């Protein structure tokens, strides 16, 4: 694992955007695995900025997002479709037909998971997967569990994830209780992984991820076994690591 220490969130975002830019420049029709949440917002802003300056062309890029809440429509401002469109896609020249996000409105979990697995397989896998890190060590919505789930599946969100997400909803009862998520095997099959982590509140879990045992109880710990992971974390997030 390559570890880059950033001064702060802004620095982290620029470093992460540089890595994604390099991927897009070197393979214009690459498959980017994308994430939502607060971690990648600055990265997307920076990419938009470079696109506006003429440095980046997304016209041939294909994307697959990690996850989506089950039950939310695309126009719900808390859906991950809405997030991706309004924080990234609408500002760049990506072909929306080349973007993929699990369909939160599909009530048949098996059907949607099978469809999404096929989408990823038909794309030929993921060239670069961007990941944020949950406070409980989750990646995508792969929550701590007794075993790693391999491919796209429907998860019951843990109380800690529901709690962390409630800031985005009017009340905790409005937070969806289930989500569709890419599985650990699919994430691990990405050719390259870019993990971005910011803030002191992630320092302990990041330490567990990097130095603890590889266990499904800390899902991101599996990344220790991937041979091309780049971690960009700010000083606060790395404050409990000897780095």
Site residues for ligand F6R per CB under 6 A:
35-39, 66-67, 132-134, 138-140
Q: Using the minimum distance from each CB to ligand F6R, give the nearer residue, 38 or 52.
A: 38
Distance of closest approach, residue 24 Cβ to ligand F6R, in angstroms: 20
Distance of closest approach, residue 138 Cβ to ligand F6R, in angstroms: 5
Q: Using the minimum distance from each CB to ligand F6R, give the nearer residue, 67 or 234.
A: 67
Distance of closest approach, residue 239 Cβ to ligand F6R, in angstroms: 16
Q: Which residue is nearest to ligand F6R (CB)?
A: 132
- The CA–CA distances, whole Å, from 51 to 6, 23, 58, 78 equal 23, 14, 8, 26
In angstroms, what is the C-alpha Rg of the chain? 17
Q: Quick check: 45 and 16 in contact, CB under 8 A?
A: no
Q: Using the minimum distance from each CB to ligand F6R, give the nearer residue, 60 or 241.
A: 241
SS (H, E, C) the chain: CEEEEECCHHHHHHHHHHHHHHHHHHCCCCEEEECCCCCCHHHHHHHHHHHHCCCCCCCCCEEEECEEECCCCCCCCCCHHHHHHHHCHHHCCCCHHHEECCCCCCCCHHHHHHHHHHHHHHCCCCCEEEECCCCCCCECCECCCCCCCCCCEEEECCHHHHHHHHHHCCCHHHCCCEEEECCHHHHHCCCEEEEEECCHHHHHHHHHHHHCCCECCEHHHHHHHCCCEEEEEECCCCCCCCC
Q: Using the minimum distance from each CB to ligand F6R, give the nearer residue, 104 or 134.
A: 134
Q: Quick check: 176 and 73 in contact, CB under 8 A?
A: no
Distance of closest approach, residue 54 Cβ to ligand F6R, in angstroms: 29
Question: Could you give the residue numbers annotated as active site?
Answer: 67, 136, 138, 143
Distance of closest approach, residue 53 Cβ to ligand F6R, in angstroms: 26
Q: Using the minimum distance from each CB to ligand F6R, give the nearer residue, 37 or 183.
A: 37
């Amino acid at each position: 694992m390559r570890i880059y220490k950033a001064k702060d969130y802004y620095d982290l975002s620029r470093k992460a955007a540089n890595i994604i830019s390099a991927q897009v420049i070197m393979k214009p029709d690459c498959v980017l695995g994308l994430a939502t949440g607060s971690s990648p917002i600055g990265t997307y802003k920076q990419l938009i900025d470079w696109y506006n300056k003429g440095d980046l062309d997304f016209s041939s890029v294909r994307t697959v997002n990690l996850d989506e809440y089950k039950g939310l429509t695309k126009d719900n401002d808390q859906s991950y479709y809405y997030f991706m469109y309004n924080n990234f896609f609408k500002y760049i020249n990506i072909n929306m037909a080349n973007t993929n996000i699990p369909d939160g409105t599909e009530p048949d979990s098996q059907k949607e998971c099978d469809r999404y697995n096929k989408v990823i397989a038909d794309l030929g896998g993921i060239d670069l997967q961007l990941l944020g890190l949950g406070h409980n060590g989750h990646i995508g919505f792969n929550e701590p569990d007794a075993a790693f789930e391999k491919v796209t599946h429907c998860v019951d969100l843990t109380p800690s994830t529901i709690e962390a997400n409630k800031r985005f909803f009017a009340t905790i009862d409005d937070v969806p209780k289930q989500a569709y998520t890419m599985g650990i095997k699919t994430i691990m099959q990405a050719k390259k992984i870019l993990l971005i982590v910011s803030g002191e509140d992630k320092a302990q879990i990041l330490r567990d991820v990097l130095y603890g045992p590889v266990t499904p109880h800390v899902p991101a710990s599996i990344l220790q076994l991937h041979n091309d992971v780049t971690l960009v974390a700010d000083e606060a997030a790395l404050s409990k690591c000897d780095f």
